[in-house]
Every structure is written in C-alpha cells, then in structure tokens.
C-alpha cells in the first residue's frame, strides 16, 4: 500500500445519505461483498461512432457492429485490466469476473478491504423499506487509475428504482367509466402491421425484483389464442425469477412486460434479466442484456426508473454509456417515463424527469388515456389520474443531459433550472389504469396500466418492424423525429401531467404521440 496516499476523488461518485434512513453503526468489516468496477472504453473517442453516424440512414442502410466486433474495438483494454488486477492484489481483493465487452471487473472481498481500497466508510442504515449498507461522500482511487475507472458500484446497496406500473384499484363510483383491453386490441387501434410475429427477434426485459410463472403465461396467452412465446430467465448478480405471490409487488411488472410484448410479437424470444434493485444491479442487468452474445437481444425494454436527481453522476453516466453502446450494435432501448406526473414522485418541489428515460440514447415512453371505438381510436388524451390517486404520465426536461440534435426542432422548453436539456418522453401509448391492459398476475386476472406497459408495447411493435424490414431499427430516435410531420404518430393535444400540457407536435407529456404502426413501418422502409 505504498502509494495509498497518492489518491484522487473518483469523479461523479459523491453520494448523499439515505433519505429517511437511520445510521445504526458500521457495516460488518468481515462481511464478504462483490463490487462492479466500470472501466473506460479501450478505443479513443474519435474511434467511437458519433450519434450522427449511428442515427444516419434508414435501418437497412446502416452497418452495425456485432457484439464480437464491439468487444474487440471498444471493450476494456488489456493494459487497463492489468492495472485493476494490480490494484485488487494491493488491497487483498479477488477478481471474481472480467468482462471486456461490458468493461466491468467484478471484485470480491471484505467490507474492510473495500473501505481501504476506495477510501470509504460503509455503514448500516435502517429504513422503512429495509436494512441497507450505505456510504456518503465521494470515493477515492489511486491516482494512476483516475483515467481508467469510470464508476464503482455495489458498495452501497440501497434501493435504486421502482417499477412504473399501476394496478387498477377498485373505485366503486368510477367503475362504470373504466374499461380495459387486451394488448391485441390496443395494437389494432394503433394500426400495428400484420403478417409479422417478431420471429428472429429477441426482446430483453429488465427486472429488478419479482418473477413470473409458466402457468400464468400459459393462461394469459391461451386466453388470446396464442402459443406462449419462448421466455428465458437470466440471472444477474445472483438474482433470479422469484415470484412473490403479491400482484401489487414487482410480479405485476414482470408479467405485464412479458405478456404485453409477447402478445404483440409472439414469435420473438423474450429474455428476462433479473437483477437486484440497486444501481449495481440495474447497470449490470442492462450491460448484460446489451452485450449478450448468446440470446442477442435486438430490443431492450426497461420499465423501472427513478427521479434523475436520485442517481449518482457515475450511475447515470454508466447507464447512459450502456445505452449508447447498444446503439452501435443496432439494439433499441425503450424506457418508461414514470407514473407520477411531472414531479416523478420527487419531493424537491420542482418538475423532475425520470431516469433512465432521460438518456438521449433511449426511446422514452409516455402514457395516454385511450378509448377504443370498434377497432379504432375513439379518443386519446394525456394520462392524468392524479386526482384519483391513479397516477399520471411522467415527462419533463433533463437537468443533466443536453438537448440532443434530433430534438433541435421540437420546441423543447428549458429545464426548471434553465438548462437546455433533453425532453422526455419521445413517444406514447395507452397507460391509464382506467383504460388498462387485461393481464394475468399471480394466478389471477388483473387490469394494469402505467408507462411500464408502453415500453413493452413499443418493444413488440419494433420487433414486428425489425422482422419485416430484415434489419434492426437500432438507434431510432433521429428517424422518429424526422418522420413526425407525417401520419406516423397520433398527435395528442389534450391534457397535462401536472406541470406540462399537451399541444400540437412534441410535448413533455406524450412526446410525438402514440404510434400509427403501419405508417411507421412504411416510413422506416422507404423514407
């Protein structure tokens, strides 16, 4: 430990105390834990594809990197891996796993060893949601690793995100006005293309808790007259498909994701990546899905998130980087924009956008209240049931991520702090639990809404489009905005989410609008 004194602060690692938590003493110094260390890309910045390059041309004209090519060109370098090995040995840590493509080295050791290695004081916290190992302040690392290490995750295991779904509550006075639909009815109303099943595609769903049962899936798909799609559970960081038996819990999220995406694209394989609900688990799940060279997801659907300011800078940067990497490989990432209106459930008193929906490399998915007449849209407006405690679509302006080039003509307002930021969402779909989706959860029929339903709905649509085009749409955001003037979207002009109102064109409630699926296919094929 001769160079221990020659240390620097790890940029972006500052962490506040757990809100509402009580410090009850030091963490057990002998407890064994595993920590993910994210390394820089092995390539130089000018060797990495720019956003303009990734978003240029129609999908069939693009040249994506294979996962093997990505790992070879942009994965962690041998020299950087050697530096981390030496660092681990210096502090008595073991190398649990090295993943060059994901740029993540998993280290194992005692709490005390990690306290020493990263200049931290891990503490035990009690909170209404459980007991956690937490830290405050910034991490430090040896000066020679300053340009090598981009993030360290897993020292602190507080909950990071929540699922964005809403199980319809029983409201006797409002039941007469409530309706519900199968995903197929919603797809027909939105004009999803026929003649495709999503065959040859793999849709990844990221899950930070709960699980599904084969019996539930069989029951749901049998009711629709559809064969149950192939569903594979992938364990990340020791988590697994573990149904809780409580439809109000994360099971509702997991089964909603699988059932909506699977109903739209029954020929696609669905891979559910289960990880712990921590920043480490979230990052490891997304990077695992994006870089999975076996199942090869072409679409990643994420229905979990939290207020942008509830993340550390290093966590936001790591997830944003993973979504950027997905773009180079033709993988589309779809993220729910939140279910608590413009505040996103934050208590800071100002509109707050949800992350990771705020990443410029994902398609942010907002919510509407959809009424279907026959097989077509009868009416559609912004989902806002806040007065009835039934939630509202998230949406707003990032105070972290700058306005991307594809939104330069979208008239995105400034963020509350004056920052010229990324606007959320990009697209929308039915999400109001009062016009929700008929699903099966924990053995029982249920009606669920939330922007959680919109991400897998769009995932299913893009699986159909990918199959039909014979090419992945990949980083589709620039194409979505360039087509917005046509008939590609149903523009939502009525309603608000608390602080933002819908209007012609893009807005911070429903983005560009809900999809006209066949028109979007035609545009992506021939524009």
Task: Decide if 299 contacts 459 (C-beta within 8 A).
Answer: yes
Q: In the listed set 153, 184, 212, which residue is the last one of a domain according to the structure?
A: 153
Q: How far is CA 312 from CA 83, 136, 171, 345, in A?
A: 25, 11, 39, 18
pLDDT tens column, 349-394: 899 999 999 999 999 999 999 999 999 999 999 999 999 999 999 9
Are residue 102 and residue 182 in the same domain, yes or no? no
- pLDDT at position 2: 40
Is the model's pLDDT at 176 over the cut of 60? no
Judgement on whether residues 127 and 178 belong to the same structural domain of the protein: no
SS3 annotation, 399-411: EEEECCHHHCCCC
Q: Which of 14-23, 365-374, 434-443, 476-485 has the lowest mean pLDDT?
A: 476-485
pLDDT of residue 487: 80
pLDDT at 520 over 90: yes
Least confident of 24-33, 127-136, 285-294, 345-354: 345-354
Contact 353, 424 (CB under 8 A): yes
Contact 40, 121 (CB under 8 A): no
- Structure tokens given for 430: 């039915």
pLDDT score recorded for residue 170:
52
Q: Would you place residue 410 in the very low, low, confident or very high pLDDT band (cuts 50, 70, 90)?
A: very high
401-420 burial by CB neighbour count: b if 16+ within 10 A, else e? Answer: bebbebbeebebeebbeeee
- Dist CA 319 CA 326 (whole Å): 11
Report residue 13 as tokens. Answer: 């690692």
* Cβ density class 66-91: b for 16+ within 10 Å, e for less: ebeebbeebbbbeebbebbeebbeeb
Check whether residue 325 and residue 424 sit in a common domain.
yes
- DSSP-assigned letters across all residues of 185-196: HHHHHTTPPSS-
In a domain, 173, yes or no: yes
Residue 410 lies in a domain: yes
Please give the pLDDT value at position 404. Answer: 98
Express each pLDDT in 78-133 by its tens digit: 999 999 999 999 999 999 999 999 999 999 999 999 999 999 999 999 999 999 99
Res. 301: pLDDT tops 70: yes
Model confidence at 223: pLDDT above 80: yes
Q: What is the pLDDT of residues 433-465, one digit of tens each?
A: 999 999 999 999 999 999 999 999 999 999 999
Confidence band of 347 (pLDDT split at 50, 70, 90):
confident
Answer yes or no: do 456 and 490 share one domain: yes
Q: State mean pLDDT over 6-12.
A: 97
Burial, 30: exposed, middle or buried (Cβ in 10 Å; 0-12, 13-18, 19+)?
Answer: exposed
The rounded mean pLDDT for the chain is 95
DSSP codes of every residue in 197-241: --TT-EEEEEESS----HHHHHHHHHHHT-PPPPEEEEE-TT---
Looking at the fold, whether 144 and 279 belong to one and the same domain comes out as no
Q: How confident is the model at residue 3 (pLDDT cuts 50, 70, 90)?
A: very low
Domain identity same for 228 and 122: no
How many residues comprise the chain?
527
- The answer, yes or no, to whether residue 169 has pLDDT greater than 80, is no
C-alpha 454/C-alpha 190 separation (Å) is 12
Confirm whether 71 is domain-assigned. Answer: no
Tokens of 426: 């990009």
Which residue range is the domain that position 190 belongs to? 162-526
Confidence of residue 494 (pLDDT cuts 50, 70, 90): very high
- CATH at 179: 3.40.50.200
Q: Quick one: pLDDT at residue 4?
A: 47
Residue 60 covered by a domain: no
- What pLDDT is stored for residue 166 in this prediction? 94
In a domain, residue 49? The reply is no
Instruction: Check whether residue 269 and residue 411 sit in a common domain.
Output: yes
The four Cα atoms 225, 228, 229, 234 give a dihedral, to 10 degrees, of 150
Instruction: Tell me the CA distances in angstroms from 145 to 105, 150, 160, one per residue in order.
Output: 14, 9, 27
Rounded Cα distance, 521 and 407, in Å? 21
Residue 50 domain-assigned? no
Q: Are residues 109 and 15 in the same domain?
A: yes
Tell whether 57 is covered by a domain.
no
How far apart CA 259 and CA 216 sit, in angstroms, is 9
Judge if 293 and 331 occupy the same domain.
Answer: yes
pLDDT greater than 70 at residue 171? no
pLDDT number for residue 357: 98
Question: Residue 174 pLDDT more than 80?
Answer: no
Asked if residue 228 and residue 112 are part of one domain, the reply reads no
**Which residues are tagged catalytic?**
253, 257, 452
Both 283 and 149 in one domain: the answer is no
Helix (H) or strand (E) holding 397: strand 396-402
What's the total number of domains in the chain? 2
Residue at a domain's end among 153, 172, 205? 153
The upper half-sphere exposure of residue 285, i.e. CA atoms within 13 Å in the direction of its Cβ, equals 30
Q: In this structure, are residues 309 and 270 in contact, taking their beta carbons and an 8 Å threshold?
A: no
Last residue of a domain, one of 106, 132, 153: 153
Please give the pLDDT value at position 306. 97
Tell me: do 335 and 443 sit in the same domain. yes
Position 485 scores a pLDDT of 57
Residue 62 lies in a domain: no
């Amino acid at each position: 430990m001769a160079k221990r004194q020659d240390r620097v602060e790890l940029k972006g690692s500052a962490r506040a105390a757990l809100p509402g938590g009580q410090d009850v003493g030091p963490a057990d110094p002998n407890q064994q834990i595993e920590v993910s260390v994210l390394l820089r890309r092995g390539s130089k910045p000018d060797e990495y594809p720019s956003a303009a390059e990734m978003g240029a041309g129609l999908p069939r004209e693009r040249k994506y990197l294979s996962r093997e090519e990505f790992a070879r060109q942009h994965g962690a370098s041998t020299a950087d891996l050697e530096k981390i090995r030496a660092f681990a040995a210096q502090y008595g840590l073991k190398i649990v796993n090295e993943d060059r493509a994901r740029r993540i080295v998993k280290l194992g050791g005692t709490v005390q060893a990690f306290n020493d290695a990263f200049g931290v004081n891990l503490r035990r916290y009690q909170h209404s949601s459980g007991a956690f190992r937490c830290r405050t302040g910034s991490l430090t690392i040896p000066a020679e690793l300053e340009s090598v290490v981009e993030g360290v995750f897993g020292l602190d295991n507080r909950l990071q995100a929540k699922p964005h779904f809403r199980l319809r509550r029983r409201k006797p006075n409002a039941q007469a006005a409530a309706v519900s639909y199968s995903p197929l009815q919603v797809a027909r109303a939105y004009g999803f293309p026929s003649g495709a099943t999503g065959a040859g595609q793999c849709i990844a769903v990221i899950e930070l808790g709960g699980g599904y049962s084969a019996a539930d899936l069989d029951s749901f798909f049998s009711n629709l007259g559809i064969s149950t799609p192939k569903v594979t559970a992938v364990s990340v960081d020791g988590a697994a498909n573990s149904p809780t038996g409580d439809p109000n819990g994360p099971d509702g999220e997991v089964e909603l994701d699988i059932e909506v995406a699977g109903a739209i694209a029954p020929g696609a394989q669905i891979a559910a990546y289960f990880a712990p609900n921590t920043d480490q688990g979230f990052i490891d799940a997304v990077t695992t899905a994006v870089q999975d060279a076996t199942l090869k997801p072409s679409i990643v659907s994420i229905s979990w998130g939290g207020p942008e300011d509830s993340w550390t800078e290093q966590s936001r940067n790591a997830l944003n980087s993973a979504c950027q990497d997905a773009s180079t490989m033709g993988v589309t990432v779809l993220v729910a924009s939140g279910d608590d209106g413009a505040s996103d459930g934050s208590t800071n008193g100002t509109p707050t956008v949800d992350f990771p929906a705020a990443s410029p490399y994902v398609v942010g998915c907002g919510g509407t209240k959809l009424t279907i007449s026959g097989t077509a849209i009868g009416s559609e407006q912004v989902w806002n049931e806040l007065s009835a405690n039934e939630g509202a679509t998230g949406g707003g302006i990032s105070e972290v991520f700058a306005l991307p080039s594809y939104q330069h003509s979208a008239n995105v307002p400034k963020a509350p702090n004056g920052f010229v930021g990324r606007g959320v969402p990009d697209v929308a779909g039915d999400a109001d639990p009062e016009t929700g989706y008929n699903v099966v959860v924990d053995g029982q029929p249920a009606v669920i809404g939330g922007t959680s339903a919109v991400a897998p709905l769009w995932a299913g649509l893009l699986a159909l489009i990918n199959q039909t085009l014979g090419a992945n749409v990949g980083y589709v955001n620039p194409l979505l905005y360039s087509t917005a003037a046509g008939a590609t979207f149903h523009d939502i002009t009525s309603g608000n989410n608390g602080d933002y109102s819908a209007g012609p064109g893009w807005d911070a409630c429903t983005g560009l609008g809900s999809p006209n699926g066949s028109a979007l296919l035609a545009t992506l094929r021939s524009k």
